[in-house]
Structure formats: C-alpha cells, structure tokens
Amino acid sequence: MSITKEAELIGMQKASEAVAYTLKEMTNYAQVGMSTKELDEFGAKILAGFGAKSAPYLTYKFPGWTCISVDNEFCHGVPSEKRILKDGDLVNIDVSAELNGFWADNGGSFVLGNDIHQHQKLVDASKEILQKALNTIRGGVKISDVGLLMETEAKKRGYKVIKNLGGHGIGRGLHEEPGDLLNYRVKSDKRRFAKNSVVAIETFISTHSSYATESAFLNDGWTMIGERGGYMAQHEHTIVVTDGQPLILTAMNGIFN
C-alpha cells in the first residue's frame, strides 16, 4: 500500500506494534524443553491481546498462529507438540497479523541457549545484511540493486541467498504490490521503490542451498527446507519508504539487538 494520510500511517503503526511486540516476547519466552506448539500458543495470546488476527491463518488457513522453523527447516514451520526445542537450536519465528484492516509482518532467527553448533555467525550475517539493505532503500532506488547488495554481502561472508523467497509489499493485505523483493539481482527488473510505499524487507541467508522446497520428510504441506540442505537465517522488518532512511514500523521487535 501507499501511505496517503495520517490515519493509514497510524493503522500501520498499530498493526506493526502488535507483530513486533509478539515476536520480541516469543523470542524471549522460548526455552530448552519447550514445544513449538507451546511457543506458538504464547504468541497467539499476545496477538489476541492487541485484537490482532494471525495473517497466515487468515490468508492460507495455516495450521498455527505463527511460523516457527527449527534447525534445517528454512521457513513456514508448523508449530507442533512433538517439536521440542533443544540447546543450540537455530530457531526462526515469523509473525504476521491483521489489525483493523492493516497488515504487518516481521521475523527473526536466533540461537537458543548456547551456540554449540556455531549458528551465530549465520544469524549475525543475516542481521547485518538486512541492516545494509535498509540503509540503502529510499524512493527511486532500483529494487534489483538492493537484491544485488544482499547477494553480494552474503557471498562476501561465504553464504548464499534463497532465490525463491523474498520480501513483499504489504499494508491492506499480506502480499501486495510491488510483488516479490528478492535477495538477488534480476537484470530485467526495472521496478523502483516508491516513496510512501509500505514493504516487508527480509533476508534469506543460507549455508548451502539456493532454493527452498517442501520437506518430503515432514510432508506437512508447509515446512520448507533447502534443496541442498544446510541452514538458513531470516530477519524481516515492515517499513515505510521515504526520501531518506526508511521508517521501520516493526523496530520494537529488537531483532538488531
């Protein structure tokens, strides 16, 4: 969507506050021995307290209120009583919701407990790349140039980007124009970021894979893993594009801390 009046900005700020606070609290609440189902239900209560509704459930009838992916699960992980969090797990939580007709999205990966599997370097790379992308985005900047920046920064650190996942426009729906905002450069893509537009910018930084595919092992119709295995970290903010630094609507989530 494009922000055209103050009421729209206030609406987006409130929806973004709901998802950002929920993500932060879920991240802090996660602990070794907890099931991802319990963590998801904790998040659901926070969203409900804001009067917000789960976006993946509303849009896709996703079997959970939030997406929680663990270790080799790249994204869209389904919360489960059987999935018990362990020390050193690479955990990704993605929270998106609708509130009073406005939609917001954010996510973050983190290492639970001690970094016994050396995932923190990947997590830090994802955070740094998102920060660099946000520092570059403003009205008139080519979308593909930001994708090139993200891929270049990933390669510098010895990582890959996932090419079939990306950020997106958001506001009055979960996915809107300008469509996919990919983590690599598409030479034929002439689109530019528009001032006052609302977008969800997210990284998909991987150790081994370039594409995400549905997990045949889990066979739940949702959870995605890498086509060549490995691990992936994701961080996401909903922002308003300006003439200068973007307005980060989900800054409260603290994913850069």
Binding site members: 76, 94, 105, 168, 175, 202, 236
Q: State the Cα–Cα distance between residues 187 and 101, nearest whole angstrom.
A: 35
Which residues fall in the annotated binding site for substrate? Answer: 76, 175
For the sheet with 232-233, list strands across it. 160-161, 205-206, 232-233
Binding-site members for a divalent metal cation are 94, 105, 168, 202, 236
- Other beta carbons within 10 angstroms of residue 149's beta carbon come to 20
